[in-house]
Amino acid sequence: MNITADSVKQLRERTGAGMMECKKALVETGGDLEAAAELMRKTGLAKADKKATRIAAEGAIVTATSPDGHTAVLVEVNCETDFVAREADFAAFAQAVAQTALAGDPTDVDALLALPGADGVVLDERRRALIAKIGENISVRRFVRLSAPGSSMGVYLHGSRIGSIVVLNGGDVTLARDLAMHVAAINPRHLDSSSVPADELAKEKEILTAQAAAEGKPAEIIAKMIDGRIRKFLAEVTLVGQPFVKDPDVTVEALLKKAGATATHFARLEVGAGIEKKQENFADEVMAQVKSAQKS
């Protein structure tokens, strides 16, 4: 059957797939453009399902902010390689996810993926079509959406791998953004000492008590040592207790007090954080190929 270059071109424009895939689909459907597009969609979804179990630890953090500056989102969208993370179609999809999360206020990732984007296409359908086109597993891993009418909100993006949001009562957007930069750089675990979970604090006290006891100090000295070390621990893990990244001589707490502001919320996402990546050993891989070649 003679498949014209024009029909291949039309199918490529509709599906975004490669020339050979388009031609193959047209041959299988007897040149029927509609049937070929439907076939490619079905096979593409099947490919997407097969790739869903592959580890996707690269990707991008994307932000979106409402026009009034009082609502913002961070979204982590993952792929398998940093090469794809820099690809234009991946970036466009990630941005569409962020804008949809901002506009739709979904409760979780599943709800987010069920929403249509600005183009009317449901995000999960667009995601699976992109998997078929690019050939890598792509997932929306998590998102954070903060809304604080009447408050100052700062959003900071470090490249495409770390994003952060800080919300203040009082202060201004410049201070909020400076603190979002601090959160991106220093990565505090908690907002303030009252935000530290009781079990985490108890565990730290247990460790510090054992360390102090091992030093052979009297009980009253151990108690004072533990109090001091707990204060140091809280300063290290809380946003307000940390030295400000742009001026280490000043704590964040002091900076906020000077501005007549308080920090109420913060969020930070980093690409791939907590994902166990597959460790590749290049030397072992080469040796395995050599042994395979010798056997054959």
**CB distance 85 to 145 below 8 Å:** no
Please write the tens of the pLDDT for every residue from 155-212: 999 999 999 999 999 999 999 999 999 999 999 999 999 999 999 999 998 888 888 8
CA distance 154 to 161: 17
How high is the pLDDT of residue 250? 97
Is position 160 within any domain? Answer: no
User: What are the backbone dihedrals phi and psi of residue 128, each rounded to the nearest 5 degrees, phi first?
Assistant: -70, -35
Do 118 and 86 fall into the same domain? yes
pLDDT above 90 as % of the chain = 59
H/E element, 166: strand 162-169
Say whether both 60 and 34 belong to one domain: no
Look at residue 167 and tell me if it is in a domain: no
| pLDDT tens profile 260-295 | 999 999 999 999 998 766 554 545 555 555 565 555
**For the chain, the helix, strand and coil percentages under 3-state DSSP, each to the nearest 5:** 50, 20, 30
Q: Are residues 84 and 23 in the same domain?
A: no
Answer whether residue 110 is part of any domain.
Answer: yes
C-alpha–C-alpha distance, residues 241 and 263, integer Å: 12
With respect to residue 94, please indicate whether it lies within any of the assigned structural domains: yes
Q: Which residues contact 188 (CB under 8 A, 6 or more apart)?
A: 237, 238, 239, 242, 266
Looking up residue 120, the CATH number of its domain turns out to be: 3.30.479.20
137 and 99 in a single domain? The answer is yes
> If you count them, how many residues does the chain have?
296
Residue at 252 is within a domain: no
Digit-coded pLDDT (tens) for 93-116? 999 999 999 999 999 999 999 999
Q: Which residue has the higher pLDDT, 229 or 75?
A: 75
Tell me, yes or no, whether 45 and 106 share the same domain. no
Counted domains in the chain: 3
121 and 97 in a common domain: yes
Instruction: Identify whether residues 20 and 74 lie together within a single domain.
Output: no
Tokens 């502001």: give the residue: 261
Between vectors from CA 238 to CA 235 and to CA 243, what angle results, nearest 5°? 55
Residue 27 lies in a domain: yes
Residues 82 and 22 in one domain: no
**42 and 76 housed in the same domain:** no
> pLDDT grade, residue 8 (50/70/90)?
confident
Between CA 80 and CA 96 the distance in angstroms is 19
pLDDT of residue 46: 46
* Residue numbers of the domain that contains 138: 54-147
pLDDT at 194: 94
Task: Name the band, by pLDDT with cuts 50, 70 and 90, for residue 17.
Answer: low
Average pLDDT over residues 15-19: 65
Last-in-domain residue among 83, 118, 147: 147
The torsion defined by the Cα of 51, 53, 55 and 57, in degrees rounded to 10, comes to 90
DSSP, res 79: E
- One domain for residues 10 and 27: yes
Query: Of the ranges 12-21, 105-114, 134-143, 192-201, which one carries the lowest mean pLDDT score?
Result: 12-21
What is the maximum alpha-carbon separation in the chain?
Answer: 93
Measure the CA angle with vertex 97, ends 95 and 102; round to 5°.
95
Q: Which residue has the higher pLDDT, 276 or 149?
A: 149
Average pLDDT of the residues of the chain:
87
- In 148-264, alpha helices (H): 173-186, 198-214, 219-237, 252-259
Judgement on whether residues 42 and 70 belong to the same structural domain of the protein:
no
Do residue 10 and residue 61 come from a single domain? Answer: no
